[in-house]
Each structure stands twice: as C-alpha cells, then as structure tokens.
Amino acid sequence: MTEAEKISLNGDSLSIEDVANVAAQKTAIELNAEARLRVETASQWVASIVERGEPVYGVNTGFGIFSNRSISTA
C-alpha cells in the first residue's frame, strides 16, 4: 500500500468516501501528530476523573436510566 492509499486522520477532514474505502480495506489510516496529541490529552483527562472519583455521565457512570450508577474501575 502506498502513501497515497493512506488517510491521515486529523479530526476535521474525514469524508464518507474515506470511511467506505477504509471499510472495504482499500485504504489504511494513521493519526496525525495533532490528532494523536488530542487523544492523549483526552485520555489524561479521563484518567484524572477516575482518579478523583468525580462522576461524569457516560465516562464513569451508566447511560440514560443507569446514569446514577457508578462504573467500577476494576
């Protein structure tokens, strides 16, 4: 697979055609440096929430009618 057949995900420019090509295994993907930094930042944010025990909907609680239920870290 050549570089032309690779999509660099940046969080802004993904098209339906790109998704179809990836799904059909015609195109590889990679995260660009900026997107990778955003993922790492978000991961650190989630880890800090878990560490503090702060309830955040859908992160460490259930969804909908289960939103008042904590999700175990174990």
| Catalytic residue set | 57
- The Cα 60–Cα 29 span in angstroms is 29
Using CA atoms of 16, 38, 58, 60 in order, give the dihedral in degrees to the nearest 10: 150
